[in-house]
Each structure stands twice: as C-alpha cells, then as structure tokens.
C-alpha cells in the first residue's frame, strides 16, 4: 500500500485530520508532517493572549501519523472497503516546548510491536526548527471488518 492509499484510508476529516503528508512509511515506522493553521478553532481559547497548540491535539497528531498510518500500512491488503475501527488504548506523552499557530511539525514513529491487532509505537514530534517538542509511547487497537484484526 502506498502513501496516497494510506492517506485515503484514514478515518478522519477536517477539522480533525492532523496529517498533511506522509514522508516515509515502512514496517518499522512512519514519518509525516502537519501544519497547524492559524485559524484552527482551538487557538481562540488556548491561551487567549499567546495561543499554543493543546497537548491533546499534539498527541492526536502523533497518533494519526505515527500509529494509525503505520497500522494501515501494516494491515495492508487485509483492509477492505469497510471503515477501519480504531481505539486508542494508552498514551504516555512528555511535552517540552510549545507549538504555535502556523507551525509545521514532523512526527516520527518507531514500532515497538504489532500483534493481535494491537500496535504500540514510540513517537516524537519536532517543531519546524527541528527541535523536539514532545515524545512518548502510544498504543491502539486496529480492526477492519473483513479480517477481524
């Protein structure tokens, strides 16, 4: 499955899609980018004087690129035309520096394991200057109707 096919299989749409581009994907990990547009709704209230991207949104961006895109790749041809079912089972993230409106981030993931439909990954999110903004470990369950995975 190629990068474009993976993006088409994502079960998200704006305003909750946090993947613009997949740069690399293989059996051991994924790399992708997303730009946090200045007019995204959550910036109006988080924080009103100097808006920054909420940690939960950074975690979601890491999950969509590093966990879900990789999971779709790993399921490959076993995914049919029915919607992919995804459930986050755990997250442990550490945050170091803020991500501001208008920044393009890069997410890198490394597979820890994938078995019985559960995928666990180490993820890192870098700001557009290449500085580590957050990192952690995410895990989730992925299942397509046809294969039960």
Q: Where are the domains of the chain?
A: 3-143
Residues 6 or more apart in contact with residue 71 via CB below 8 angstroms: 86, 114, 119, 140, 142
Q: Among 9, 120, 136, which Cα is nearest to 67's?
A: 120
Model pLDDT for residues 34-45, shown as the tens digit of each residue: 999 999 999 998
Q: Which of 33, 46, 135, 143 is catalytic?
A: 46
Is 26 one of the catalytic residues?
no
At the second CATH level, the architecture of 3-143 is Roll (3.10)
pLDDT tens, per residue, the chain with 149 residues: 899 999 999 999 999 999 999 999 999 999 999 999 999 999 998 898 999 999 999 999 999 999 999 999 999 877 766 678 888 899 999 999 999 999 999 999 999 999 999 999 999 999 999 999 999 999 999 987 654 54
17 burial (CB, 10 Å; 0-12 / 13-18 / 19+) is middle
């Amino acid at each position: 499955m190629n990068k474009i096919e993976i993006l088409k299989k994502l079960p998200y749409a704006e305003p909750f899609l946090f993947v613009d581009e997949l740069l690399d994907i293989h059996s051991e990990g994924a790399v992708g980018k997303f730009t946090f547009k200045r007019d995204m709704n959550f910036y109006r209230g988080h924080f009103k004087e100097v808006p920054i991207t909420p940690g939960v949104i950074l975690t979601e961006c890491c999950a969509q690129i590093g966990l879900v895109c990789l999971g779709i790749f790993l399921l490959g041809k076993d995914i049919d035309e029915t919607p992919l079912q995804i459930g986050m089972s755990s997250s442990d993230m550490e945050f170091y520096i803020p991500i501001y409106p208008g920044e393009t981030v890069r997410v890198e993931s490394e597979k820890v394991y994938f078995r019985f439909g559960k995928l666990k990954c180490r993820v890192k999110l870098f700001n557009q200057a290449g500085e580590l903004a957050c990192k952690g470990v995410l895990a989730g369950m992925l299942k397509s109707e046809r294969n039960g995975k």
